[in-house]
Structure 1
Amino acid sequence: MTVIAVFNQKGGVGKTTVTANLAATLVQNGIAPLVIDLDPQAHLTATWGLNPKSNQTMYRFYQGTSPLTDLIQTSGPGIHFIPSHLELARVDSQLGKHRDHLWRLKLALEAEMLAGSGTPIIIDCSPMLGVLSFSALLAADLILIPVAAEYLALNGACMLERTLFGLEKFDRRRERRYLVNRFKEGHETHEKVRAQLQKHFPRELLNTIIHENDDIMAAVGDNLDVFSYAPDSSAGTDFSFLLDELIEKGLIAIEE
């Protein structure tokens, strides 16, 4: 599978840091991914130290004035990136007028021969349920759902399951996997939340855990990924395990 939407309708669960560091893990393994920031808050764009004009971002694509390939920049060591901008929020208000926006991303990825090319594509989604999020979900082969190890995030994961079930009325079921994020071994609440996730999603909960680690947030402050910020950090090991599991389970297809 090629296109991964990193999504959770609950904010603050670590979608952007998971996206950034999964992309960096691919680079560490000699693979140059394409990453799309589809969140109008543009946190991923800021994380990589970019401050583009709106006509250099995904907003121009949704205006219908630019193909995706013309918007690709290089960010960091080997990551191809299409940034976001606050103006992108206008797209979510246009559903009634432009329902074709829901399919525009999927069709463009296919028409521009990006999807299915063997290059992994990772989309950092908005937490809002609108045109942008639904267009990413419809374009995706895999929905990767970070869940912070807390009760509110657990409730959000259960609500999200109903949202994804509703999406299946419009198109095929996408593979989905839940990823426990910001986890502390031995922490009572964290352990209980993980156990509940295992109970609710026994086939879809990943074995990999992303542990709470100061290096992850410190790296964001320096506009870096964990491998660049702290090469020997255990956070890098967690993300390496994540990539290995996704490949071993056939959820990311890597061309040799």
Structure 2
Amino acid sequence: MTIIAVFNQKGGVGKTTVTAHLAATLARNGTEPLVIDLDPQAHLTALWGLRPRPEETVLRFYQGLAPLTELARPLPCGVQFIPSHLELSKVDTQVIRHRDHVWRLKLGLAAEMLSGNGVPILIDCSPTLGPLAFSALFAADLVLVPVAADYLALNGAALLERTLAGLTRFCGRLPRRYLLNRYVSGQVTAEKVLGQLAQRYGAELLRARIHEQEVLGAAAATGEDIFSFAPESRAAADFAFLLDELAEQRLLRW
């Protein structure tokens, strides 16, 4: 599998952070992943220090005016990146006039021979359940669901499970993995959330944990990935273990 949609309907669970550092982990391991910011809030675009004009972003692709390959730009961290812009939110308001938007990404990736060629593709999804989110889900081989170690995030994961169940008639059952993020070992709430996730999702809960660490916020403030900012940190080790586990389960190949 090569296309991963990083998705959760609940905001604030660390979706963008996970996307950015998983991409950096892939780059550190000798590949050049394609990363698409499909969230109109454009947090990933801002994280990487970009302020593109709307016509330089994935919006152009959804308007039918440019292929994905034309919009991708190389980043210093070794990632090919397609940025986003607030104007992308217009796509989610055109659900009646442009229902084909939900299939556009899947068809575009295939037409440009980006899917199936072994190059990992990560999609930072919008938390809003509209054409953009469906577009990412229909294109994905795997849904990676970051879940923060708190009860509200646990409820969000249950809501997401119902959403994914509703998509089975269109694209079958999408493989998914749940990733516990912002985890504090030994903290009562974190351990209870971990226990409930394990009980509810079993083998779909990854063994990897992304621990709550200030160094991740500090890296974001500089626009650097964790391997450039703090290569010996526990955060760097967490993301390395995440990549190893995805590869071990044959969910990500490069």
Q: TM-score, normalised by structure 2?
A: 0.99
Deviation at 1:170, TM superposition (A): 1.4
Write out aligned runs for 1:216-235 (5 A).
216-235=216-235
Residue in 2 aligned with 1:40? 40
Aligned match of 1:180: 180
Question: Which residue number corresponds to residue 84 of structure 1?
Answer: 84
Could you tell me which residue of structure 1 aligns to residue 252 of structure 2? 252
1:74-112 CA-to-partner distances (Å, cap 9, x unmatched) read 122210000000000000000111110000000000010
* Structure 1 gaps, min length 5: none
Q: Which residue of 2 aligns with 1:166?
A: 166
Aligned to 1:140: 140
Structure 1 ranges of 4+ moved more than 3 A: none
Query: What is the deviation of 1:8?
Result: 0.1
Identity across matched positions, percent: 63
Residue 209, structure 1, aligned to residue 236, structure 2: no
3-state SS in 2 of match to 1:203 = helix
Instruction: Work out whether residues 179 and 205 of structure 1, in 8 Å CA contact, stay in contact via their aligned partners in 2.
Output: yes
Report 1:152-163 matches (<5 A). Answer: 152-163=152-163
Q: 1:77 & 1:194 partners in 2: Cα distance? A: 32
**Which SS does the other structure have where 1:170 is aligned?**
helix
Render the CA deviation track for 1:116-159: whole Å, top value 9, x for unaligned: 11100000000000000000000000000000000000011011
State how far apart, in whole Å, the 2-side matches of 1:61 and 1:76 are. 24
RMSD of equivalent CA atoms: 0.6
> What does residue 22 of structure 1 align with?
22
For this pair of structures, how many residues does the alignment match? Answer: 254
Matched residue SS, 1:92: helix
Task: Provide the C-alpha distance between the structure 1 equivalents of 2:76 and 2:204, rounded to a whole number of angstroms.
Answer: 31
Secondary structure of 1:118 counterpart: coil
Q: What aligned pairs does 1:104-119 form with structure 2 within 5 A after superposition?
A: 104-119=104-119
Contact preservation (8 Å) 1:48, 1:76 = no
Structure 2: state its 5+ residue gaps.
none
Please give the residue correspondences for 1:124-135 in structure 2 after superposition, counting only pairs within 5 Å: 124-135=124-135
d(CA) in 1 for partners of 2:187 and 2:100? Answer: 46
State the distance in 1 between where 2:72 and 2:87 align: 18
Distance in 1 (CA, whole Å) between partners of 2:176 and 2:11 is 18
Matching of residue 200 in structure 1 with residue 200 in structure 2: yes
